[in-house]
Chains A and B, each alone.
Chain A
Amino acid sequence: MLLKNKQNALGDALLAAGLDALPVAGRSPWRDARERFFRNKAAVVSLVLLLLITLACVFGPMLLPHSFDDTDWDAMALAPTWQNMHLFGTDELGRDLLVRTLIGGRISLMVGLLATIASVAIGIAWGATAGFIGGRVDTLMMRLVDMMYAVPYLLIAILMVTLLGREFYLVVLTITVFSWMDMARVVRGQTLAIKSKEYIEAAHAIGVSTPAIIFRHIVPNLLGIVVIYTTVTVPGVILTESVLSFLGLGVQEPMTSWGVLIEEGTGVMETTPWMLLFPGALLSLTLYCANYIGDGMRDALDPKDR
Chain B
Amino acid sequence: MWSYVFRRVLMTIPTILVVITVCYLMLHLTPGGPFDTERKVSEAVMANLQAKYHLDLPLWQQYLYYLKGLLQGDLGASFRYADWSVNELVAKALPVSLTIGGVSLLISVVIGVLLGTVAALRQNSAIDYLVMLIGNLGSAFPSFVIGPVLILVFALWLSWLPSGGWQDFELRYMVLPMALLTFINVSTIGRVMRGSLIEVMSSNFIRTARAKGLPTRTIVLRHAFKPALMPVVSVLGPLAISSITAAVVTESVFSLPGIGKLIVNGASNRDYTLVLGLVVLITVLAVLLNLLVDLAYALLDPKIRY
Contact = CB atoms under 8 A, between A and B. Distances in A.
A270 interface: yes
A178 B12 CA distance: 19
B252 A247 contact: yes
A201 B208 CA distance: 41
Interface string B140-151: 111011001101
Interface in B173-203: none
A159 B140 contact: no
B283 interface: yes
Nearest to B22: A156
A163 B30 contact: yes
Contacts of A263: 144
Interface in A247-261: 247-249, 259
Interface in B242-273: 244-245, 248-249, 252-253, 263-264, 266-268, 270, 272
B144 A156 contact: no
B167 to A, nearest CB: 21
A152 interface: yes
B112 to A, nearest CB: 19
Contacts of B241: 150, 152-153
Contacts of A155: 244, 248, 263, 278-279, 282-283
Given A150-B286, A162-B267, A239 B142 contact: yes
Interface in A152-201: 152-156, 158-164
Contact of A151 (B19, B136, B248): B19
Q: Which interface residue of B11, B245, B266, B287 has the most chain A CB atoms within 10 A? A: B245
A78 interface: no
B273 to A, nearest CB: 11
B248 A156 contact: no
Contact of B264 (A247, A269, A284): A247
Main secondary structure of the interface of B (DSSP, over half): helix
B104 interface: no
Q: A interface, how many residues as a size bin? A: 35 or more
A262 B142 CA distance: 11
Nearest to B294: A150
Secondary structure type dominating chain A contacts:
helix
A242 B140 CA distance: 13
A87 interface: no
B23 A159 contact: yes
A147 interface: yes
Contacts of A269: 148, 151-152, 156
Contacts of A164: 30
A74 to B, nearest CB: 28
B223 to A, nearest CB: 26
Contacts of B11: 143, 146
A161 B270 CA distance: 10
Interface string B1-37: 0000000000110110011000100110010000000
Interface string A265-280: 1100110010010001
A242 B263 contact: no
Contacts of B278: 155
B144 A242 contact: yes
Interface in A126-161: 143, 146-147, 149-156, 158-161
A176 to B, nearest CB: 16
Contacts of B287: 150-151
B286 A262 contact: no
Contact of A152 (B141, B268, B286): B286
B275 A162 contact: yes
A160 B272 CA distance: 11
A49 B256 CA distance: 37
A270 B276 contact: no
B71 to A, nearest CB: 20
B275 A158 contact: yes
B234 to A, nearest CB: 13
B249 A247 contact: yes
A248 B264 contact: yes
A113 interface: no
A287 B142 contact: yes
Interface in B52-73: none
Contact of A284 (B141, B238, B252, B267): B141
Nearest to A144: B18
A263 B141 CA distance: 15
B279 A242 contact: no
Contacts of A291: 139-140
A284 B14 CA distance: 38
A154 B148 contact: no
A247 B248 contact: yes
A294 B266 CA distance: 36
29 contacts: A147-B14, A147-B18, A151-B15, A151-B19, A151-B286, A152-B282, A152-B286, A153-B245, A155-B279, A158-B279, A159-B23, A159-B267, A162-B275, A243-B245, A247-B248, A247-B249, A249-B264, A249-B267, A259-B144, A266-B144, A266-B151, A276-B148, A276-B152, A280-B149, A283-B145, A284-B140, A284-B142, A284-B145, A288-B140
What are the 5 A-B residue pairs with the smallest beta carbon separation, nearest first?
A: A288-B140, A280-B145, A162-B267, A154-B245, A266-B148
Given A159-B23, A246-B249, A291-B140, 9 more contacts: A147-B14, A150-B287, A156-B23, A162-B267, A163-B30, A249-B267, A265-B148, A269-B148, A291-B139
